[in-house]
């Protein structure tokens, strides 16, 4: 009961503070609703970036991956810091110079409106089919597991998770649809503090639990029991083979932190370029510590439960329930609930932005006032939220949440990254090249990963089982050798699409070269130490890999 009361109390506190902080913001204008009035400062941007990212698809999913493979999955965290530096130094100055509200908005200026609409449609499809349902499902796994909702309500576990899905979805929709970006960003910043504190407490209590009350003894026990699980380079058959760091991993990270609307929208709302860059760099430093929260608990859970959990996705919530003192479970569940809401309402707010500006205003009602655009964006957000709540229960059959999310996102993230990179780095590649790259990239990836690949993998596994191979690790090796890793496929398709776009640009160049114009929306003087701080982040990441390499 104490846990539930602390959960409710902290959740209400965040809601009240968010309301008081945003009640004077003009939400009837596009900038006010979608970009928080272009008034966000470095601390708010950093907190919002981290909380948007640190949701349960990360906390539950990545710890589940660490439960299986150990430290090698930290690549998803540490390499993110490098791509945040790249975004701060190279991409954000261009975004703010052009006064962008949405990333597809740049594509309209660089290529044409049709390219922008296709890209917005891809973003929205990915959000409603993949990202929003995964956030809702992983959130329901965490909340249901920590509070034992099935036992409290005397219902089955699937029913308990559906109840949690709808609860999270409804509350998140209220934040995102009716509060706008500033409400999302303020609540993110408050929850960021709680999540960082609570997130560190889990491995601390976990290590104490396996070390007879001593954190250092627990860490020694964890390392001594399986030293190979602390190898940063991992094995070729694991979820993140070391070779993928030099191929698709960096591309996925660059898309996520540099071009993904739900993330970059925080930096687009900066009051000036210097604040946006400082926010990204601050977040990158904190991101380096991410494995303490997102990887170490999964490794502790493997030791604590002796690798006997029915599903790796249960590793984190089960560890929290097992090692955290009762009163703190409610507080941490509230913080985690805030993280769930953060990702859900951030994606939803970005979806409302994309629909309102890139589809409704552009194609449905070109004469719509800003207030009308915001109104119909909100209506679309409600419909999108309902659709995601209906789709979410299906994710239960997907296996590893985090791996599933990254693989399916490849349908749209690499094609979009391709046309943005080529768009900024060239001046005469025409719109037809971007359209071909989008459809060819998505089509070939679907063909590779969901038609050809599964057939070859299943045939190899069946042959292995017939030859008497039953060991799980041995079967994972067979699977890894049967078909290239999806991150390698992404890199191959990226290079192929870039080559095709450059070839078309050579054969059919634009009549007039593209020139990025300064719109005077915000001040674009860069942070004076952006390159020095960025270099420090990159060096720290490299040293971490060297320190943990076998």
Whole-angstrom distance, CA of residue 537 vs CA of residue 288:
8
**pLDDT confidence of residue 230:** 94
Confidence (pLDDT) at 10? 62
In a domain, 136, yes or no: yes
474 within a domain of the structure (yes/no): no
Backbone angles phi, psi at 445, to 5 degrees: -65, -45
Count of domains in the chain?
1
The pTM for the full model equals 0.84
Domain range enclosing 370: 2-18+27-396+521-548
Task: Look at residues 492, 348, 400 and name the one whose alpha carbon lies nearest to residue 62.
Answer: 400
Question: Looking at the domain assignment, is residue 239 inside a domain?
Answer: yes
Burial 326-341 (b: 16+ CB within 10 A, else e): eebbbbbbbbbbbbbb
Backbone angles phi, psi at 270, to 5 degrees: -65, 150
Residue 28 has a pLDDT of: 47
Q: Give exposure, 92-117, as e/b (b: 16+ Cβ within 10 Å).
A: bbebbbbbbbbbbbbbbbbbbeebbb
First to last CA, the chain: 47
* pLDDT number for residue 181: 47
Angle, CA of 186, 189 and 192, to the nearest 5°: 150
Whether the Cβ atoms of residue 61 and residue 401 lie closer than 8 Å to each other: yes
Q: Considering the domain boundaries, does residue 433 fall inside one?
A: no
Is 496 within a domain? no
Which CATH number belongs to the domain containing residue 267 in this structure?
1.20.1730.10
Q: Is 269 part of a structural domain of the chain?
A: yes
Whether residue 505 contacts residue 429, with contact meaning beta carbons closer than 8 Å, is answered with yes
CA distance linking residue 301 with residue 355, whole number of Å: 42
Give yes or no for a contact between 188 and 51, defined as CB atoms under 8 angstroms apart. yes
What mean pLDDT is reported for the chain?
85
Write down the pLDDT at residue 207: 96
Q: Which residues of the chain have pLDDT under 50?
A: 26-36, 180-181
DSSP structure string for 421-477: HHHHH-SS--HHHHHHHHHHHHHHHHHIIIIIHHHHHHHHHHHHHHTT---HHHHHH
Cβ atoms of residues 188 and 52 within 8 Å: yes
Q: Cα separation of 327 and 521, whole Å?
A: 48
Q: Which of 409, 357, 370, 372 is nearest to 107 (CA)?
A: 357
User: Would you say 426 and 502 are in contact if contact means Cβ atoms under 8 Å apart?
Assistant: yes
Domain assignment of residue 486, yes or no: no
Residue 469 covered by a domain: no
Please tell me the predicted confidence (pLDDT) of residue 33: 46
d(CA 173, CA 244): 36
d(CA 176, CA 173): 5
pLDDT digit string, tens, across residues 404-447: 888 888 998 999 999 999 999 999 999 999 999 999 999 999 99
């Amino acid at each position: 009961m104490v846990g539930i009361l602390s959960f409710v109390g902290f959740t209400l506190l965040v809601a009240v503070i968010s309301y008081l902080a945003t009640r004077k913001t003009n939400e009837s204008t596009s900038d006010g609703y979608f970009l928080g009035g272009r008034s966000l400062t470095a601390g708010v941007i950093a907190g919002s970036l981290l909380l948007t990212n640190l949701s349960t698809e990360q906390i539950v999913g990545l710890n589940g991956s660490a439960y299986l493979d150990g430290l090698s999955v930290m690549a998803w965290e540490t390499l993110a810091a490098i791509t945040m530096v790249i975004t701060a130094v190279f991409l954000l100055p261009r975004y703010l110079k052009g006064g962008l509200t949405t990333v597809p908005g740049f594509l309209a200026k660089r290529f044409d409106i049709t390219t922008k609409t296709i890209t917005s449609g891809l973003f929205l499809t990915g959000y409603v089919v993949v990202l929003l349902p995964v956030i809702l499902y992983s959130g329901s796994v965490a909340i249901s597991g920590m509070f034992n909702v099935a036992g409290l309500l005397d219902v089955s576990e699937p029913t308990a998770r559906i109840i949690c899905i709808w609860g999270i979805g409804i509350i998140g929709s209220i934040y995102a649809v009716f509060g706008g970006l500033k409400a999302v960003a303020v609540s993110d910043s408050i929850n960021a503090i709680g999540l960082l504190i609570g997130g560190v407490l889990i491995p601390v209590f976990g290590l104490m639990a396996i070390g007879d009350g001593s954190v250092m003894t627990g860490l020694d026990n964890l390392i001594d029991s399986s030293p190979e699980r602390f190898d940063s380079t991992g094995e070729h058959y694991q979820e993140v083979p070391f070779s993928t760091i030099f191929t698709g991993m960096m591309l996925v990270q660059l898309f996520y932190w540099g071009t993904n609307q739900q993330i970059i929208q925080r930096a687009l709302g900066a009051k000036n370029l210097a604040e946006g860059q400082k926010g990204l760099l601050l977040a990158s430093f904190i991101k380096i510590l991410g494995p303490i929260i997102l990887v170490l608990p999964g490794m502790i859970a493997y030791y604590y439960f002796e690798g006997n959990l029915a599903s790796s996705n249960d590793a984190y919530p089960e560890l929290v329930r097992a090692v955290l003192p009762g009163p703190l479970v409610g507080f941490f569940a509230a913080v985690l609930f805030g993280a769930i809401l953060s990702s859900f309402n951030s994606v939803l707010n970005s979806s409302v932005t994309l629909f309102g500006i890139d589809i409704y205003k552009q194609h449905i009602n070109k004469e719509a006032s800003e207030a009308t655009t915001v109104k119909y964006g909100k209506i679309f957000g409600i419909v999108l939220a309902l659709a995601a709540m209906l789709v979410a229960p299906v994710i239960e059959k997907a296996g590893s949440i985090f791996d599933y999310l990254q693989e399916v996102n490849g349908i749209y993230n690499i094609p979009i990254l391709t046309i943005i990179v080529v768009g900024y780095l060239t001046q005469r590649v025409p719109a037809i090249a971007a359209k071909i790259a989008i459809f060819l990239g998505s089509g070939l990836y679907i063909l590779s990963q969901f038609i050809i690949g599964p057939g070859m993998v299943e045939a190899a596994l069946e042959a292995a089982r017939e030859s008497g191979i039953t060991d799980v690790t041995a079967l994972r090796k067979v699977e890894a050798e049967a078909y290239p890793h999806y991150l390698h496929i992404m890199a191959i398709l990226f290079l192929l699409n870039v080559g095709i776009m450059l070839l078309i640009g050579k054969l059919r160049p634009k009549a007039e070269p593209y020139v990025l114009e300064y719109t005077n929306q915000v001040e674009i003087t860069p942070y004076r130490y952006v390159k020095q701080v960025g270099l420090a982040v990159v060096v720290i990441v490299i040293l971490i890999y060297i320190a943990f390499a076998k």
